[in-house]
Amino acid sequence: MALPASSDPAPGPAANAPMQVLRGFAVSPGIAIGPVLVLDPRGLRLPPRNIAAEAVVAELARLEEGLEAAGREAEVAESEARARLGPQYADILAAHARMIGDPTLRTDARRRIECNRIAAEHAITDILEAHAIRL
C-alpha cells in the first residue's frame, strides 16, 4: 500500500546545514532509524536544572539525603563484592564509598547549590567532572 503524496517538505535540517556524524556502540542487534536526541553534549542523562532561591534549603536537604543513601548503598555493594567477588572489586567500591563520604565533596556541593542555585545532582556531577578532568 502506497502512502499518499504530500506537497509539504519533509521535516529535517536545512539544505545548507552541515551534516554531523555521530558514532556509538550497539547495545542490541538490528537497525533503528529515527531522529537523534542528544540530551547533553557531555554525555549526561540529566538536563541541568536550576532552582529558585526559596528552594535552596530544600535542595540542601535533598543533597544530604542523597549522599547518605548513596553512602549506605556503596557500603552494602562493597560488602557484597568482598564476599562474592573478592578484594580487587570490593576495593573499587570502597573507593567510591570514600568519595561519597568526603567532607569536601559535601561542602563544595552545598556551596554550588547556594551560590549557583542548581539541583543537588548537578552540583555533585560538576564537582566529580572537575576531579576527573584533573586526574
In a domain, 46, yes or no: no
Which residues, in sequence order, are CB contacts of 95 under 8 Å at separation 6+? Answer: none
What is the distance in angstroms between the CA of the first residue and the CA of the last residue of the chain?
Answer: 58
Q: How many distinct structural domains can be found in the chain? A: 1
Which cell is 43 given?
554525555
Q: Which pLDDT does position 45 carry in this prediction? A: 63
Cell numbers for 121: 545532582
| Residues 108-127: tens digit of each pLDDT | 999 999 999 999 999 998 89
- State the Cα–Cα distance between residues 125 and 115, nearest whole angstrom: 16
Which residue in 80, 57, 79, 76 sits closest to 68, CA to CA?
Answer: 76
Q: If you ran DSSP here, which 8-state letter would residue 30 be given?
A: S
Is 84 contained in some domain? yes
The CATH number of whichever domain residue 65 belongs to comes to: 1.10.274.10
* pLDDT at site 43: 63
Residue reference for cell 542555585? 117
**What was the pLDDT predicted at 40?**
59
| 49-70 pLDDT tens trace | 899 999 999 999 999 999 999 9
Q: How many CA atoms lie within 13 A of 56 on its CB side?
A: 11
C-alpha cell at 115: 551560590
* DSSP code at position 54: G
Domain interval for residue 78 = 53-134
